[in-house]
Amino acid sequence: MKKLTILSAAVMIALSAPAALAKVSQADADKLGTSLTPLGAEKAANADGSIPAWGGGISKPIAGYTKGMHHPDPFPSDKALFTITNANKAQYAEFLSPGQKELFEVYPDTYKMNVYESRRTAAVPQYVYDATKVNAARAELVSQGNGITGATIGVPFPIPANGLEVIWNHILRFRGVDVETYRSQAAPMSNGSYTLVETAEAIRFEYSRPEVTLDKLKETNTLFYFKQVVTQPARLAGTALLVKETMDQEALPRQAWTYNTGQRRVRKAPNVAFDTPGTVSDGLRTTDDFDMFNGSPMRYNWELVGKKELYIPYNDYRLHSDALKYDQILKPGHINPEYARYEKHRVWEVKATLKEGMRHTYKTRVFYIDEDSWQISVTDIYDNRDELYRVGVAHSINYYEVPTLWSTLEVFHDLQSRRYLAMGLDNEGRMYNFDASLSEANFTPDALRRAGIR
């Protein structure tokens, strides 16, 4: 696969080195907002213009939008430039991941990718850009890469030197401050039948708060709080999960609690991490698959392979629309490809290889991370036989009232069972609330018990 130049030869040398702890120079930090975007992407267009220059993204709501709506498509007149199918995939192989190619092989008659004009819509608030520039010159990995220091609010490593820094950029990318979501997930059977699981989630991002300080983050050692309550189906309603994610996971690993409706008790849940099966996922994802990757990176060696161009889901407003019903999206084998939008973007390629002596269902994971937002867009997952096992795909939009680019639907394809898990369905539900007012009192074991009672 064709690799693109990465800043300089000096950085290329660093890519194959162990995780570096050094901060970038002020001269490099000053490239942010000039030759680089404020978050560290290449500002210029690519050589043939198929990826345009970044012009600021969508930084405010578009005409006709009011809060609470499903987000209208900013590009309603766009038509697909071409469609990739199993028959012509070789023509576009340079811009497809191995996992994407395998999906064409597994579903030769039904799987396809409609490719549209590339629109670099990613944007975040100005205070996040400002914090990112400060972080660039002071952020460091600590605890053998199992934590960070010297960063607040913005991307910690906008000019990354290694794979660990890139994955921390994904983990800490800006997604709002206090957020409530109402999402559903489904794991269709081979015939397309499914049971919808509905959840209510709340997230308080300590790291992203405008008023947060380095001292406060060090004192609390908290990145965010997360609470999830299952509301449907009735047999699962009230099942609840609480997570406190830490900034230095060696000093204090993730703290988690669960509420079981049958026992009507809150229990500490130290196993809510790594390859423990995800909540009500029918065994089709691991806990650390949530948000494409989350939690401690300690079990893997992380290699920054480089940067390349890839067809990834982007500006998937049609897939996000409340004009669609779940039955229109969820089909046997994979989601309905007619509603998905793919664009060519530059991505960072990071390879995670299981460390010797560590255990995980996944031996190797290759992540493709959007340069503009640090959102993992595609992940190819290999089992302990070195065979492709799963392919994860994040369909993203710019939630322009914030603004932030975040997934609206994540799909994990299990190539062995030929099933998939669709997470984040919101077409028939309420829209995300980015104006929630959440306190730490919302994220205690007692609060979890109260939320779980049905």
Of 76-80, 166-170, 446-450, the poorest mean pLDDT is in: 446-450
CA dihedral 356, 357, 361, 367 (to 10 degrees): -30
8 A C-beta contact, residue 130 and residue 154? yes
Q: What is the pTM of this model?
A: 0.94
Q: Name the DSSP class of 43.
A: -
pLDDT-above-70 percentage for the chain: 95
Task: Give residue-wise pLDDT tens across range 295-306.
Answer: 999 999 999 999
**pLDDT of the residue at 255:** 96
Q: Is the pLDDT of residue 15 over 60?
A: no
Q: Is the pLDDT of residue 128 over 90?
A: yes
Burial of 391 (0-12, 13-18, 19+ CB in 10 A): buried
**pLDDT of the residue at 454:** 61
Contacts of 223 (CB under 8 A, 6+ apart): 171, 172, 205, 206, 207, 245, 246, 247
Q: How confident is the model at residue 260 (pLDDT cuts 50, 70, 90)?
A: confident
Q: Is the pLDDT of residue 8 over 80?
A: no
